Structure 1
Amino acid sequence: MSPSDASGPRTARRVLIIGGGISGLAASALLAQQGYAVTLLERRDQLGGRAGSWERDGFRFDTGPSWYLMPDVFDHFFRLLGTSADAELDLVRLDPGYRVYVDGYAQPVDVAADRESNLAIFDRIEPGAGRRMEKYLDSARETYDMAVRRFLYGTFADLRRLAAPDVLARLPRLLRLLTEPLATFAGRAVRDDRLRKILGYPAVFLGASPYTAPSMYHLMSHLDLADGVLYPQGGVTEVIRAVERVARAQGVEIHTGSDVEQIRTAAGSAVGVRYRDASGAAVELDADVVVSAADLHHTETALLPSAADRTYDEPYWTSRDPGPSAVLVYLGIDGTVPGLLHHTLMFTADWEANFGAIFGKERSVPDPASIYVCAPSLTDPSVAPDGATNLFVLVPLPADVTIGRGGVDGAGDPRVEAIADRAIATIAEKTGVKDLAERIRVRRTVGPRDFADDINAWSGSMLGPAHTLRQSAFFRAGNRSKRLDNLYYVGASTIPGIGLPMCLISAEVLLKRLTGDTSTEPLPEPSVDTLAETRT
């Protein structure tokens, strides 16, 4: 245990946070609330990391995450800081939540916003599936509650905490859920190919394949099939702005255009950073605690000056899975695109081959590829001009930077632009909008090389390390250095994992680590009376 683990903020006042994505911003807010003097350094001119924003010709695009799931996590975070998700965001429930096209089937499946409607949909497609899905979703809810109570919010600093009675009572079942693939588990609940894909696709949110992700992650089906899908008006960038607001309100000092080049060390401790400011001048800052919200591979291999300071050496990285990359396509379209909902998934028939190309031993760009399309302008008129459509398209690929970079108006590398062209053709075919390509007013692509260059993502990963068994829970990279006192990690690379909700949780787990809190539950929220006093 480092000195700051035991003593808390009274002897560790100055904190430097590297990276202004959602995890860095959230960590800065929580630590500042506890009395730390926090400075956050962000390399780019824009905060948000993967969850950025890009505008052109009246179109505004979220550049990364576009799903708002686990609303309880967002609300809990804001309540810790004296506010709420409802107060900070204008949330809209999507109904239907999303649409699924599967090759070989004439009609798509629309997933509803509530559990009972979805049970009826499943039963209509496959008689008897509704009854089996009741048990599946009951299990998903129970597993989700267990994960929140015992696994997601813990530091794993004291594994004895996991030997709680509720965990021990479910241990045989938990072991089975950890060792059986999600695809196998889901296949016992439904036989219809479309329904199996609906139960399996959430593995992609975890940077994994349903054929390798543990069936523990069937808990994800509770989020979309029972809880439903929300959308923050203005887009995910409004979530970033809200977290930035609460951070600044707590007194966090935020500097953009500040490129950290090295974590400074002395006598076995992290003592500060060296960075280039917006003018290019070299600056050194001292700190009692350094927190890296940057990609962990970049932190360990590029920011630490000596191999002796690294917790994770090269053999560690060569034996781990960076998760998938993607080609992203931002399209501003003249007119409407019938056939799409706010969220639309388009799956290939041979799903196993598709995932094998992305996650298997011999990796390649899948063709045909499954794709995801977000049309936020169907819900939010602020993201596109009147009469136009905003489309965000994601094509999952292996994490391979040689696939190349994207660009504006077709100026990306040839492989990236060809992948984008095929995705546009798929959307045109599925929706029946044959002239879709001719109606494109704005086009920008992003490739794996961009993820590596812009956000220092390991191997150009779009999300972070995949949630395979050996990269989940206490098997995932921890949130403090084993070599340097006072160096900590937060974000998608570390516990509990990838995605906006997990990154918010990682900030709370960091606070627990710094204060020596080994509890597994979310931190207690202020009372309703306290919240009311804070707002007045």
Structure 2
Amino acid sequence: MNRRVGSAAGSSPRTGVIGGGAAGLATAILLAREGHSVDLFEKNPCLGGRIGVFEREGFRFDTGPSWYLMPEVFEHFFALVGTSADAELDLRTLDPGYTVFSPPGPADTSSGAPGHTRALTIPHGRSRVLETFENVERGTRDALDDYLDSAEHTKELALAHFLYNPFTSPRSLLHRDILGALPKLVRQLGTSLTDFAEASFHDPVLRQILQYPAIFLGTDPRRAPAIYHLMSTLDLDQGVSYPMGGFHTIIDALIRLAERSGVRLHTGADVTRIDTEAAPGRGRTGRRVTGLRWTDEAGRAHRHSADVVVSAADLHHTETQLLDPVDQSFPERSWTSVTSGPGAVLVFLGIEGELEALPHHSLFFTEDWEANFDAIFGSTQKIPSPASVYACRPSATDPTVAPPGHENLFLLIPVPADAGLGAGGDDGGGDPRIEAAADRAIDQIARWADIPDLRRRIRVRRTQGPTDFAEGFNSWLGGMLGPAHTLRQSAMFRWQNASKTVDGLFYAGATTTPGVGVPMCLISAELVLKRLRGDSSPGPLPT
């Protein structure tokens, strides 16, 4: 049954959206097109949330996501609002997709030559990826072909029946495709991604390539269910793209669509409270949302009346800081059993001269893989040293992100989600632990990729740490992504998109269903729309 929400019969529902990242903007667009009168409130001066951008001395740095994966999700969202990815973005396919660097071997002490660095490049195109694996480990061509077939099938099953599913009707899970795949799904849910990948592949680097996507999910591959091997079809089969101009062009597109749809966008607007009232006999909860309170950049207080509130802010912050205890579905005590995804140290470097040794995307994996994850997720957490590091050189593809003759280099070092680790700063001015982690990563890349003068060529440097995530995005524990995708924090077991306590209060974004990543944030907006419509269908809405 469709649920109509409005202040009076036939009037447009008044809707307030908290948070101006991808999820908040996408939700605002969909609800405005549904006929809602929508105001969006973003506490920071600029829209985009974690998909940030800053410019300095001719360099333009993306400060968040940098892998454009699951293009069908972007295309579906754009089609849903009457446009297309081609019309809104200038996408380029990366070839190679990325290179994996392993630690150098022992140095030749007699000649003084550095140790040999193993670099394995992953090309674009499935047939070439199969050949690459076969060249590393004989007999893996067929094994990888089967692995990717399974990954593709699982991904299609997820898109059709799980990711877009609001889980409001048990019948949505009784489709014959799910029932037919049930024995396979049960095995995958009961097996870790690590065990699943290592069953058919023995070379340590190939195993790492099949396991590293767990970081995209905010989790340890030893704890991620094997169903998430579906991630391997994204980079090894579909390939990796890049939006020219940087990832913030995705936000620019969403802002254009929001303005075109009539959404009123408020920046520097810090929401401090969600207002509710008792509503006996109304809805399923006996309480309903009535609006929100916010302060502007001058500190002036405002109230926005609303029939619907959608929080695309961090779920922990929403529940524990914006709601009174009587309205909380997930109070503070419930978070003690939640597994957080990792935190991050981000390093933004403007480099003089070229960095031809690095492609657009590079992964620097330590040999002691398990120790790395133990440091991040284990009982005794610390910044890993050495760490596995991700490096992005967008200037390899996009000349607009750096001045001529210079390179733009972004480093991501996964660390524990601990806001006490410190904040970053400009030119080495961040907290000591953050700057020390950045220094180690810079030196590691210089040594492993044989760029001995890398440090001397740095002209711009900025770092960001877990404290920055906590302060800038109200991120629980200072995490980079949100709660990890362990088995009990995935799909129908993850926090859903509607409050269990307050009628008219909904959630979107990485900390709710379906999960972390820009594609998931777009899907979460569609799940909010489905709940408002009373739509229990499991797949994408018709465009």
TM-score range, shorter chain: over 0.9
AA in 2 matched with 1:275: W
Which of 321, 334, 340 is the equivalent residue of 2:352? 334
Aligned equivalent of 2:456: 438
Which of 457, 468, 493 is the equivalent residue of 1:450? 468
The answer to whether 1:242 aligns with 2:260 is no
| TM score, norm. by length of structure 2 | 0.95
SS, match of residue 292 in structure 2: strand
The answer to whether 1:398 aligns with 2:416 is yes
Whole-angstrom distance in 1 between the partners of 2:443 and 2:169 = 52
AA in 2 matched with 1:70: M
Whole-angstrom distance in 2 between the partners of 1:3 and 1:219 = 35
Aligned equivalent of 2:17: 17
SS, match of residue 170 in structure 1: helix
Q: Which runs of 4+ in 1 moved over 3 A?
A: 1-12
Q: How far 1:221 moved relative to its partner? A: 0.4
The answer to whether 1:500 aligns with 2:511 is no
Whole-angstrom distance in 1 between the partners of 2:302 and 2:161 = 42
Whole-angstrom distance in 2 between the partners of 1:386 and 1:8 = 59
1:354-388 CA distances to partner (integer Å, 9 max, x unpaired)?
01111122211111100000000010011000000
Which of 176, 183, 187 is the equivalent residue of 1:176? 187
Aligned equivalent of 2:309: 290
With 267-276 and 141-150 compared, the bigger mean Cα shift is at 267-276
Aligned equivalent of 2:362: 344
SS, match of residue 258 in structure 2: helix
Q: How far 1:313 moved relative to its partner? A: 1.7
AA in 1 matched with 2:320: T
1:146-191 CA distances to partner (integer Å, 9 max, x unpaired)?
0000000010111221111110111111111112100100111211
The answer to whether 1:44 aligns with 2:44 is yes
SS, match of residue 233 in structure 2: helix
1:291-311 CA distances to partner (integer Å, 9 max, x unpaired)?
00000000001111x211100
Q: How far 1:98 moved relative to its partner? A: 0.5
Aligned equivalent of 2:241: 230
Whole-angstrom distance in 2 between the partners of 1:485 and 1:421 = 50
CA separation of 1:308 and 1:2: change in aligned 2, threshold 3 A: farther
Whole-angstrom distance in 2 between the partners of 1:180 and 1:314 = 31
CA separation of 1:12 and 1:162: change in aligned 2, threshold 3 A: farther
Q: Is the 2:2–2:534 Cα contact (8 Å) retained in structure 1?
A: no
AA in 1 matched with 2:540: P
Aligned equivalent of 2:59: 59
Q: How far 1:511 moved relative to its partner? A: 0.5
Whole-angstrom distance in 1 between the partners of 2:377 and 2:9 = 43
Correspondence list, 1:150-229, <5 A: 150-229=161-240
Aligned equivalent of 1:529: none
Correspondence list, 1:356-371, <5 A: 356-371=374-389
SS, match of residue 61 in structure 2: strand
Aligned equivalent of 1:468: 486
The answer to whether 1:302 aligns with 2:305 is no
Correspondence list, 1:53-202, <5 A: 53-103=53-103, 106-202=117-213
Q: How far 1:104 moved relative to its partner? A: 5.3
Whole-angstrom distance in 2 between the partners of 1:401 and 1:419 = 15
Whole-angstrom distance in 1 between the partners of 2:64 and 2:355 = 21
Q: How far 1:314 moved relative to its partner? A: 2.2
Q: How far 1:244 moved relative to its partner? A: 1.2
Whole-angstrom distance in 2 between the partners of 1:135 and 1:9 = 56
Whole-angstrom distance in 1 between the partners of 2:396 and 2:31 = 38
Whole-angstrom distance in 1 between the partners of 2:157 and 2:348 = 38
Give the CA RMSD over aligned residues: 1.6
1:249-298 CA distances to partner (integer Å, 9 max, x unpaired)?
11111010101111111112111111012332100010000000000000
Which of 276, 283, 291 is the equivalent residue of 1:272? 291
Q: How far 1:229 moved relative to its partner? A: 0.2
The answer to whether 1:517 aligns with 2:531 is no
- Paired residues, what number? 524
